Every structure is written in C-alpha cells, then in structure tokens.
Amino acid sequence: MPRKSGKEKMDKGAVPGHIAIIMDGNGRWARARGLAKITGHTEGVKTVERVITACRKIGVKILTLYTFSTENWKRPREEVSALMGLLSTYLDRKKEELKKKGIRLSVIGDISQLPLNVRDKLTEALDYTADNDLLTLNLALNYGSRKEIIEAVRSVAREVKNGDLLPDDINEEVFSAFLYTKGLPDPDLLIRTSGEMRLSNFLLWQVSYTEIYVTETLWPDFSVKDFEDAIKNYRKRERRYGGR
C-alpha cells in the first residue's frame, strides 16, 4: 500500500467545529530567556497567527481565545498597559487581513472597562468583519466565567420579576441565552498550554462536555505540529455526553 503523506489533509468531518484555547506560558517563556515579560506576549501573538491559519486550513468554524481575564487587571500596571497596546496594534494591523480572509471578529466579556481607544478600535473591527463567515475569531476580553454566570442569573431574575419569564420555563437552553456566548455552540475542544491542569475561570458553563487537551508546551512555542497533535488526540476520543 502507498505510504500516506504527512501533508495529507485531515478529514474535516472529524475536526472540532469550535476550539477554545487558554494561551498560557508567555511570562515563563520570557523569563527562561532573560527577556521582558512583554516579549513573551509579543511572541504569543505570532502563535495566534499560526493557529488561526491552521484553523482555516482544516475547517474549524470558531476559535475562542482567552485573551484577557477579569483577574489579569491584578498584574503590574506596566504589563496591563503593554497588553492593551498589543491588542490595539493587532486590531490596527490585522483588521484588513481578517476581512480579506473571511474571518469574523467576535468578543465575549465586559469590554466597557477596556481603554476607550481599544474599545473604539475593537468596535470598528467587529463592524468591519461582521459579514465574514469562514471562521469566527472570538476574543475573551475582560472575561471571567463566574462573573458571566452571575450576570446571567441577575438577568434571569429581572425577567422573572418583570413577569417576562416563568421560573418553570428556565432550562439550559434558556439560561445559555443570557450568557456572553449566546448564539455560539459550546466548544468541542479546549486546549491549554504550559501544563497547568485548571480552567482558570474560563467558560465554566460551556465546557461541561468539552474534550480537554493539555500540553506542557508554552504558548509562544506552540507550533502547527502541536496544534495538529491536539486535533489528532481529539479525533481519538469517543464523545458520549454521559449517555453510556
């Protein structure tokens, strides 16, 4: 039998439609090289580009990236400022490219606390790419899952108080419509880099039946091969959803 090429295309039917990633390890990557922490974040942006390209190639429809958490505000002011600067620069440089490549930018989280210039650029990019449908790049910005769930509970409570929703009508589908991720399917695969075995307040409701893949590789070093390894691992899983 002829040997299969390593470059052979993956069976798209076995590819996760929605991948979420906890991009961890930028700081450790920089420290190990005696570099400033922001250098690690800058290298991490290059990894984002590699992963976006890989997702487009194999037919992933949604890529959700844990970009900035509600807890990240606790970091040194200089680091937070640098991270906001990186986001602003990315939006400036990549907006046109996202449009041309059919990538729709989306966001989950409370962006009202982001710097005004970042919010303006983000809003502009969201509008500019709104009609694209090849891949949705979903950035979790000022995102915390516990905050998301609490805000959803408050919204449900107001609906009930106003008589617009009956308590007995509340189910998983109804509740999900009050989350930041309204309209998005739950992730099929969650990837976490740097070897940490925790969810870090990320998509706690949405990943109930998501397949989880953890790699020791730090995010700046996460290669296309690492991404392909995660996909291959996912394809070996049998997703039973508790049915058997």
pLDDT classification of 89: cutoffs 50, 70, 90: very high
Query: What percentage of the chain has pLDDT greater than the value 90?
Result: 91
Rounded to the nearest integer, the mean pLDDT of the chain is: 93
Question: Per-residue pLDDT for 9 more than 60?
Answer: no
Surface-to-core class of residue 231, CB atoms within 10 Å of its CB (0-12 exposed, 13-18 middle, 19+ buried): buried
pLDDT classification of 241: cutoffs 50, 70, 90: low
Question: Per-residue pLDDT for 48 more than 90?
Answer: yes
pLDDT classification of 184: cutoffs 50, 70, 90: very high
Q: Are 21 and 64 in contact (CB under 8 A)?
A: yes
Beta bridge partners of 73: none
Question: Per-residue pLDDT for 212 more than 60?
Answer: yes
Question: Per-residue pLDDT for 224 more than 80?
Answer: yes
User: How do strand 103-108 and strand 135-143 relate by DSSP bridges?
Assistant: parallel
Q: Are 227 and 54 in contact (CB under 8 A)?
A: yes
Distance CA 30, CA 36 (A): 6
Distance CA 220, CA 30 (A): 9
Question: Is 142 part of the annotated catalytic residue set?
Answer: no
What is the pTM assigned to this prediction? 0.92
Distance CA 60, CA 116 (A): 32
Q: Which of these, 168, 184, 187, lies nearest to 176 by C-alpha position? A: 184
pLDDT recorded at residue 4? 39
Question: Is 72 part of the annotated catalytic residue set?
Answer: yes
From the candidates 11, 72, 110, 186, give the one annotated as an active-site residue: 72
From the candidates 24, 138, 188, 226, give the one annotated as an active-site residue: 24
Surface-to-core class of residue 100, CB atoms within 10 Å of its CB (0-12 exposed, 13-18 middle, 19+ buried): exposed
What domains lie within the chain, and their CATH numbers?
14-144+186-235 (3.40.1180.10)
